[in-house]
Amino acid sequence: MKILAVADEECKALWDYFTPDKIEGVELIIACGDLSRHYLEYLATMAPMPVLYVHGNHDESYDLLPPQGVICIDDEVYVHNGLRVAGLGGSCRYRTGAWQFTEAEMKKRVNRLRGKIDRHGGVDILVTHAPLHGYGDMTDLPHRGFTAFSTLLDRYHPQYMLHGHIHLNYGASIPREHTYGTTRIVNCFERVYLDVDAPVPKPRPRLFASLLGRNAL
pLDDT digits (tens, 9 = 90+) for 7-39: 999 999 999 999 999 999 999 999 999 999 999
What is the three-class DSSP state of 141? helix
Q: What is the pLDDT of residue 213?
A: 55
3-state secondary structure of 131: coil
- The superfamily CATH assigns to domain 2-216 is Metallo-dependent phosphatases (3.60.21.10)
pLDDT of residue 217: 47
Q: What is the pLDDT of residue 203?
A: 55
Other Cβ atoms less than 10 A from the Cβ of 37: the count is 16
Measured CA distances, 208 to 119, 169, 203, 204, 213 (Å): 18, 53, 10, 7, 9
CA-to-CA dists, residue 106 to 46, 75, 114, 135, angstroms: 34, 11, 12, 17
pLDDT for the residue 212: 52
Residues of the chain under the 70 pLDDT cut: 172, 201-217
Closest alpha carbon to 53 in 111, 128, 107: 128
